[in-house]
Amino acid sequence: MRQSIVRVVFFMGILAGSFSCQNAEKPKHVKKQSSSQASEKLNVLFIIADDLNCDLGAYGNNIVQTPNIDRLAARGVVFENAHNQYPLCGPSRASFMTGMYTNQTKITENNMNLRNSVPDVITLGQRFRQQGYQSVRIGKMFHYDNPSAIGTSGNDDIYSWDQTVNPYGRDKIEEHKINTLIPRRYGGTLSWLAANGKDEEQTDGIGANEAIEKLDDFSKNGTPFFLAVGFFRPHTPFVAPKKYFELYDREEIKIPESSDSYLKTLPEPAAKSIRAKKVQLNLEKELAQEIKEAYYATISFVDAQVGRVLDHLEASGLDKNTIVVFTSDHGYHMGEHGHWQKQTLFENATRIPLIISMPRIESTAIAPKRTMSPVELIDLYPTLMELTDITIPEHVVGKSLQAVMKDENALVRGSALTRWRNGYSIKTRRYRLTAWGEKGALGYELYDHQNDNSELINLTSNENYSELMDSLKIVLEQRISQASIKPDGLGRQIENAKAMQKAKNITFGDLHDKQGKRTYLKEK
């Protein structure tokens, strides 16, 4: 299977916009770094799952089996009120890798190249490279079309990495076997498969193997590293070996109920967001249970791969000097509000799991804790900079979470901001306010999580909340305004950059004529 792994190693001499060739000799004032100085640096293992919501044991879900993520949570800081900045893969990833909001990255679609919008930005991986770290990506970190771009570099940013690995597994070879609501549609359509074979044959299993190999290399040579491991699951299609499906009793899985009368309580854009995917509305109970079982099984599969990587981190001894981060790019509806997948401004889509575990050495140790402090995914960039004692680039507008890691009651911000198209939403410790259209011209939503954590009761017409709502409106408008300011030190910021034109997905084994029309559909 290793022959199928695509490796791309980028050796970048001088970045665009740096010195010209004739001026590229090393400045005399630059000091050489000793090997002892390099070994004293804290490493970072950054693990991200794709389309993973908070259906984890560590976040209170008693059905989904995630023992490895749970044990990481038991020794780390668990952020229970963490939110992404745009509930769609590409924009969210561009935000947290640059530490900026989508109004600043100018990326609100998938398949957009980061450098077409903000060509001079210093990404998280790039900043580690600048400080003598080996920055390595395995799997999905920036946007990939999942699953069609698996095995390729997708819409990656080559300046972020010294090395990249693009695993390609059995799930791609056997894509034709996948069950789906629309033939040969997988990434944006509910699709699933209880697969044959072993973990290590799947793309994410191969990714875990590659991460283990890299950890071995780092343990031998003592090189400081930023190792970014991006798993493609549980993003659709929900593919995992059969043993993970066997962990669940399908008939016991509950599907939330939602009536169309509920839509009348919502602004039109909000109602449209949870009724956008027509083929996924009003699924029969048995089918919905089968799909949700597949999502849970795929989460458990990803958890197992996370466990393999964490086990090897400990076996290699690198755990004593490595910060571990686990997160997701956005949340995911599993029937809540009558919706499946993401792309809403409800808690199900904005909230993400976020766990940071520090090395167990006296100089860096931070006691395990849980916090309800509102935090944002873009806060990861400055947090990792501060934890590794690296100067934060001027353009980064996220806030370091180190204060919250030391004191769970500390606040670095009063609310977490998420945008979706023409809507903006803030989540405080207790409330969520969402505005659609400029200054709420298309309507508002207000939810009180103390009494309604499912966000089913819109309180905008409740007079008891009018004063609160007025104050939150002011906060929200201030947050939007601040998130729209071009950051200092960013360099060029290009408006209206276009997304890459996509070709149709080709499932291995299908045949097409010269116009691209499918002439043969490979059978299961």
Q: Whole-model pTM?
A: 0.92
Does pLDDT of 269 surpass 70? Answer: yes
For 91-119, the DSSP string reads HHHHHHHHT--HHHHT--SSS--HHHH-T
Band the pLDDT of 422: cuts 50, 70, 90: very high
* Gap between the terminal Cα atoms of the chain: 22
Does the annotation mark 512 as catalytic?
Answer: no
Contact 303, 356 (CB under 8 A): no
Three-state helix/strand/coil letters over 236-254: CCEEEEHHHHCCCCHHHCC
Does the annotation mark 54 as catalytic?
Answer: no
**466-498 confidence digits (pLDDT tens):** 999 999 999 999 999 999 999 999 999 999 999
Band the pLDDT of 39: cuts 50, 70, 90: low
pLDDT at 259: 82
**435-455 confidence digits (pLDDT tens):** 999 999 999 999 999 999 999
Residue of 143, 312, 330, 339 marked active site: 143
φ, ψ at 399 (rounded to 5°): -115, 135
pLDDT at 501: 87
**Domain annotation covers residue 24:** no
Two tokens at 473? 């409106």
Mean pLDDT of the chain: 93
Residue 224: cis peptide before it, omega within 30 degrees of 0: no
Does pLDDT of 361 surpass 70? Answer: no
Beta-carbon contacts of 323 under 8 Å, excluding residues fewer than 6 positions away, are: 42, 43, 44, 45, 356, 357, 358, 359, 384, 387, 388
**Domain annotation covers residue 432:** no
Strands (DSSP E) contained in 217-350 are 225-234, 238-241, 322-328, 333-334, 340-341
CATH number of residue 208's parent domain: 3.40.720.10
- The mean per-residue pLDDT over the stretch 180-200 comes to 97
**Domain annotation covers residue 322:** yes
Does pLDDT of 88 surpass 70? Answer: yes
Contact 28, 173 (CB under 8 A): no
CA atoms within 13 A of residue 255's CA, in its CB half-sphere: 21
Percent of the chain with pLDDT over 90: 89
- What total number of domains does the chain contain? 1
Two tokens at 278? 């027509």
- The mean per-residue pLDDT over the stretch 63-91 comes to 98
Q: Which residue do the tokens 């984890």 mark?
A: 56
Beta-carbon contacts of 19 under 8 Å, excluding residues fewer than 6 positions away, are: none
Contact 329, 84 (CB under 8 A): yes
Beta-carbon contacts of 37 under 8 Å, excluding residues fewer than 6 positions away, are: none
**Domain annotation covers residue 30:** no
- What is the Cα–Cα distance from 304 to 231, expressed in whole angstroms? 12
**Domain annotation covers residue 195:** yes
pLDDT at 4: 41
Residue of 83, 89, 235, 395 marked active site: 89
**Domain annotation covers residue 359:** yes
pLDDT at 36: 45
Q: In what order do the strands lie in the sheet with 416-420?
A: 416-420, 423-427, 431-436, 443-448
**231-248 confidence digits (pLDDT tens):** 999 999 999 999 999 999
Which value, to the nearest 10 degrees, does the dihedral of the CA atoms of residues 210, 59, 447, 403 take? -80
pLDDT at 360: 73
pLDDT at 260: 82
pLDDT at 30: 52
Does pLDDT of 41 surpass 90? Answer: yes
Least reliable range by pLDDT among 203-212, 219-228, 256-265:
256-265
**Domain annotation covers residue 460:** no
Band the pLDDT of 151: cuts 50, 70, 90: very high
Specify the long-range contacts of residues 102-106, CB closer than 8 Å, at least 24 apart: 102/419, 103/419, 103/480, 103/483, 103/484, 104/397, 104/483, 104/484, 104/485, 104/486, 104/487, 104/490, 104/493, 106/493, 106/494, 106/495, 106/496, 106/497
Domain that holds residue 363: 2-9+43-414
Report the relative pairing of strands 431-436 and 6-9 from DSSP bridges: unpaired
φ, ψ at 385 (rounded to 5°): -65, -45
**Domain annotation covers residue 429:** no
Least reliable range by pLDDT among 36-40, 285-289, 352-356, 433-437:
36-40
Does pLDDT of 12 surpass 60? Answer: no
